[in-house]
Copies of this chain bind each other. A is one copy, B any other.
């Protein structure tokens, strides 16, 4: 009997399987308890496997001052920048030092979805990532709100969906991570962003679900985080995270991806 025939998708992983076996061995097969509580606690399998190439893609939040000249060098701070992508990479590399991972960042400040598409061949498909993490959307609305772009939320969703489909056709085994666009209510982010911004978040989630991708709930995380420090602590201008904001994003990413 193969386990994949009998486990629901989110709980079916070799990791859970071996964990189970250990626990069965430990309790001598007598374990019984609430499965409801258990399912709440169950973790996702890790997306990241030995030998994987991991690519972060997006806008300035992903870019975070990365060094362009050394962009082809994996696993180093300068080409990975100073943001969540670097912090998530550093934690992954330190935790999985034996896994021979190669991690790259190709985020570019100011990008909207159509600009990712313009450079997708060389900055994504040619790198043949095993795991691809995308965070895009805040400029799609921001540049529209300030009159520098005429794209709507429908354009965002259509372009994003097409980009993901193109990726899956070129790289059929790629594991996709779609990050939730987020803002903090401070700095450049005022009332005119809402409720429009929620539409962009919802669109990203639909793109994610249609692709069977892993979703990283950045907005949900920040909505909780503002109970403990004001919005400006997490992102002074409401868009670009502080080092602390980036650290929280990295935590959320690592948890979603299962590192």
Contacts and interface: CB of A to CB of B under 8 A. Distances in A.
Interface of A: 1, 3, 6-8, 11-12, 15-28, 30-35, 37-39, 41-42, 75-78, 82, 86-87, 89-91, 93-95, 97, 221, 224-225, 227-229, 233, 243-244, 246-248, 250-251, 254-255
25 contacts: A1-B30, A3-B27, A11-B26, A15-B41, A17-B23, A20-B27, A20-B38, A21-B33, A22-B35, A23-B38, A24-B24, A77-B228, A77-B229, A77-B233, A86-B244, A87-B247, A87-B248, A89-B228, A90-B225, A91-B248, A93-B228, A94-B225, A243-B247, A246-B247, A247-B247
A148 to B, nearest CB: 32
A20 B17 contact: no
A254 B95 CA distance: 13
Given A20-B24, A77-B233, A94 B41 contact: no
Contacts of A16: 19, 23, 26
Contacts of A11: 22-23, 26
Contact of A8 (B26, B33, B243): B26
Mostly helix, strand, loop or mixed at chain A's interface?
A: helix
A224 B94 contact: yes
Contacts of A1: 30
Given A243-B244, A247-B250, 4 more contacts: A3-B31, A19-B20, A25-B35, A90-B225
A230 to B, nearest CB: 8
A7 B26 contact: yes
A19 B18 contact: no
Contacts of A78: 229
Nearest to A33: B21
A19 B42 contact: yes
A36 B180 CA distance: 37
Q: Please indicate which of the listed interface residues A3, A31, A233 has the most CB atoms of chain B within 10 Å of its own CB.
A: A31
A244 B1 CA distance: 46
Contacts of A75: 227-228
